[in-house]
Amino acid sequence: MCCPNRITAIVIVTVLCFFIACSKETKTPVTTTIAATSANDKTTTTASSTPAKTTTPAKNPDTIQTAPPTNLSKGLCCKTENVIIVVIDGPRYSETWGDYTLKNIPGQFELYHYGVLLGNFRNMGTTNTDSGHDAICTGNYENLENTGQVLPQYPSIFQEFLKSTGKPAGKAWVVASKDKLQILGNCKQDGWAGQYMPRTDCGISGLFSGYRSDDTTFAHAKSVLATYHPNLMLINFKDPDYFGHANLWGSYVKAIQTTDGYIKALYDLIQADPTYRDKTTFIVTNDHGRHNDNVADGFISHGDDCDGCRHIEFLAVGPDFKKGIGFDTPYEQIDISQTVAKLLNFKMDYGKGKLITDIFN
């Protein structure tokens, strides 16, 4: 039989070993690949051959930690000197990123490997052309008459940028197939109306002149980029919306494919230009979607709050953004202006959006 002193020693050694082991476990840092900043965020990484599939982080609080400091949180933003926004007018998400084959957007899928995708991005205001573009540019949801006869109330990213930097009008441009989008260059707000206005090239020859073809807009956009090298530019392609309203399904789908080609060509043009290469953020989005098949007249129209009208694209490539990753964190149209302002270091005095923090390095 063991003596009491020996038994006591064994017990003491066992207890000490237990506490030492526990101490080492609690001091071991937890490594995580979660890029979001809270347990409620959702994020995904992707392989090179498939688009991002959103996954929910584990719910165990011991395995979810605050992500490491980013360039944004460390105050190192931003490398971006130029922002180009391409708005594809009116495709449904179900014919773009919502189609798992991605057959209509191969160009954007290629860009996706160099950028970031938001799969839960929405227009939460009026789902028509003027109001959707207004939300993108001013950070406000307004129910504008959809004819180009009413200016936005608040100043846009273009006016705010030109005032902040003191740069000439030619450093900010709106180039659009739809003439009515000339309204994006001005607003009604006191102190801003008629001031700090960007250059515009909309429709055949400006407001109320009529729509023009997307291939003409593509040519004009390339010319503006090469001639003026704007720091801030929005380009609108109308055809998905135009052929959707015409109830021409084949032409509608073809228009999505054609605009996808324009997007890839514009990005390649930017990367081939030393003024823009690796210093430019390139954003692709929509003003609105279209009705789901079981709503009203389906893809022909839009304008309500069905998910088909609200769910839209957001793809961004730039020197300050993550690469080859997608997020399911909810963001919306009015957040674009705040994010552009951060990238180009100016303030949106009246914008109500928030910064899209997930996408930054």
pLDDT of residue 35: 32
Give tens-digit pLDDT for 264-279.
999 999 999 999 999 9
Give tens-digit pLDDT for 290-323.
999 999 999 999 999 999 999 999 999 999 999 9
More confident residue, 4 or 174: 174
Give tens-digit pLDDT for 327-336.
999 999 999 9
pLDDT of residue 2: 44
pLDDT of 23 above 70: no
pLDDT of 61 above 60: no
Per-residue burial over 166-177, b if 16 or more Cβ lie within 10 Å, else e, is: eeebebbbbbbb
pLDDT of 51 above 70: no
> Which CATH superfamily groups domain 82-359?
Alkaline Phosphatase, subunit A (3.40.720.10)
pLDDT of 184 above 70: yes
Q: Where are the domains of the chain?
A: 82-359
pLDDT of 156 above 50: yes
What mean pLDDT comes out for the span 251-275? 98
Give tens-digit pLDDT for 72-81.
766 668 999 9
Q: Which residues pair with 83 in a beta bridge?
A: 232, 281
Angstrom distances, CA of residue 268 to CA of 274, 280, 289, 297, 352: 12, 12, 26, 38, 33
